[in-house]
Amino acid sequence: MRVLLTGSSRGIGRAIAERLAKPGTELALCASQPSSALGDAVEACRRSGARAEGLTGDLGDSAVPAALVAEATSLFGGLDAVVSNAGLAIPGSLTDDIDEAEWDRTFSVNLRSAWLLARAAYPDLKSASGSFLAVASMSGVEPYPGTGAYSASKAALIMLVRTLALEWAASGVRANCVSPGLFLSAMTAPIYADAEKRSAREALVPMHRIGDPARDFAGLVEFMLSADAGYITGQNVLADGGLIGSIHTQVADRPKSSPLS
């Protein structure tokens, strides 16, 4: 399998890269700029027997997604899958804090880059009957105040992928989203470094733990790219430990014999 993976130098992206790294797999690991973290990810994948190459470019630049696809296809002779994982969250309220430049930056990285990656990769994915997979977020299903445009961009990403799935279905190309809930990642590490905040969040999750990228998410990505998921398209698969579905369990003092309304 020949895979282009963005946001691959750390966190969830690094866990995905290492899960996919097997003999016979070719991985284009993408990051915004050269770094020791990207080099470490490439070397870790090579040690597992995969061919891995590090590519760089700022996905906020509209020319970069197509350039990354072109470089990957030149290296590997084509692509079987694209995993659009890179994203950012700029904190602040939509009313008072975030400005137009921050809004545009969030949407360009979280949404526009996925569209441009998909469009550029489509000819290769069509030839391979391949798959496009975007990493969205629980915050794209339910709003998360205080993260500026993040929730809006992830909700739009889910709809983008659902639309691509319909456009591509007849050509044999699948498009899906996978959405993490409360996970430990490079983006959330500062939150979970606070033991009190971590404990409070764990208490909200029915499984009573924060998700681990390697244990709880990378395998889902591997499955969604595999032939075993070959009849799944246009879906957003949520990995949240049951959190979003647990709202009724968090309403105190409700009558046990009557429904909520």
Choose among 95, 65, 63: nearest CA to 83. 65
Tokens of 5: 């993976």
Measured CA angle at 169 (ends 80, 245), to 5 deg: 90
Tokens of 72: 């990957």
Give the CA distances from residue 232 to residues 65, 115, 124, 229, 235, in Å, rounded to whole numbers and listed in that order.
Answer: 25, 20, 19, 5, 7
Are residues 136 and 178 in contact, defined by beta-carbon separation less than 8 angstroms? yes
150 is catalytic: yes
Choose among 167, 72, 63, 142: nearest CA to 108. 63
Q: Of 122, 144, 150, 231, which residue is the catalytic one?
A: 150
Tokens of 99: 């400005």
How are strands ordered across the β-sheet holding 174-180? 51-56, 26-31, 2-5, 81-84, 131-135, 174-180, 236-239
Are residues 211 and 239 in contact, defined by beta-carbon separation less than 8 angstroms? yes
Percent of residues in the chain assigned helix, strand, coil, to nearest 5: 50, 15, 35
Instruction: Answer left, alpha or beta for residue 209, where phi above 0 means left and psi between -120 and 50 means alpha.
Output: beta
Write out the catalytic residue numbers: 150
